[in-house]
Amino acid sequence: MKSSVSVRRVVVCVVVLALVALLTPGTVVAGETVKEKEPPAPAAKEKEAPKASAKPCPLVIPLDQIKIEIAAIRYEVEVQGVDGNMMRLPDNRRNNFRYAIVTLRFRKPAGAKVVLAAADLTLHYCHGFEQDVTPCEGLSSFGTHLDEERMMKLPQMQGPGWLKQTTNARCTDASEAYVDCVFAMVEPDARECWICVAQPSASAPYITKGWSP
């Protein structure tokens, strides 16, 4: 009986030791090494998207507060800029096109400051049976009278996008102000004209990550 009990104890011990060996990493069992399982690699963090901005769209004319209308249009073959630069139609194009100098009237609350960007303005018009649009390529200073002289600024580099004009103190205090805008390549049979002022298509901005060299 004692011998039988001893044998059973030995078998139980062997079984327990085998189980412990299987569960213990780096232990040799029957000539093989049980390797410890490597922990999974941490998941790569996703790049954080730029946070939403509460900034309003810049340089937007509030058309619910400021009314803009065409007060006059004249046509020229050349336009002189205050900085000495000039826009001039070639002789061979003068039978077909002119620069349209469009005077805009701003009706606004007295004390309201206006910052106007040339890139925000387009002239939409009909000529003959055609429809067309042309961008603003020059902006004058603001004035308080329709027929007063205003100093014209023309682009000094490719494109008029950088051109901006701001009302001075006198024009800011006034409830009415005028500015001249240059639109190129207008046909002789131009008739119906509309001025369009850029407005954002959505209130929330698209957030870009920018760029680096």
* 14 has a pLDDT exceeding 50: no
Determine the structural domain holding residue 137 and report its residue range.
67-197
The number of beta carbons lying within 10 Å of the beta carbon of residue 140 is 23
Residue 11 placed within a domain: yes
Q: In the chain, how many domains are there?
A: 2
Residue 45 placed within a domain: no
The sign of the CA dihedral 86, 87, 90, 91 is: negative
CA dist., res. 154 & res. 181, Å (int): 10
CA dist., res. 56 & res. 134, Å (int): 27
pLDDT of residue 156: 79
Residue 41 placed within a domain: no
pLDDT of residue 10: 46
Q: Is 23 helix (H, G, I), strand (E, B) or coil?
A: helix
Q: Is 30 helix (H, G, I), strand (E, B) or coil?
A: coil
Confidence of residue 74 (pLDDT cuts 50, 70, 90): very high
Residue 62 placed within a domain: no
Residue 205 placed within a domain: no
- In the chain, the DSSP E strands lie at 27-29, 32-34, 67-76, 78-80, 86-88, 98-107, 115-117, 121-127, 130-140, 152-153, 164-166, 176-186, 190-197
Residue 26 placed within a domain: yes
Q: Is the same domain home to 11 and 84?
A: no
Q: Is the same domain home to 165 and 76?
A: yes
Q: Is the same domain home to 81 and 180?
A: yes
Q: Is the same domain home to 146 and 74?
A: yes
Q: Is the same domain home to 84 and 171?
A: yes
CA dist., res. 162 & res. 18, Å (int): 81
pLDDT of residue 35: 53
- 75-122 pLDDT, tens digit per residue, is 999 999 998 899 999 999 999 999 999 999 999 999 999 999 999 999
Q: How far apart are the first and last CA of the chain?
A: 88
Residue 61 placed within a domain: no
Q: Is the same domain home to 8 and 89?
A: no
Q: Is the same domain home to 26 and 99?
A: no
DSSP string covering 94-135, please? TTT-EEEEEEEEEE--TT---EEEGGGEEEEEEETTEEEEEE
Rounded to two decimals, what is the model's pTM?
0.74
- 135-188 pLDDT, tens digit per residue, is 999 999 999 999 999 999 998 776 666 899 999 999 999 999 999 999 999 999
Q: Is the same domain home to 12 and 81?
A: no
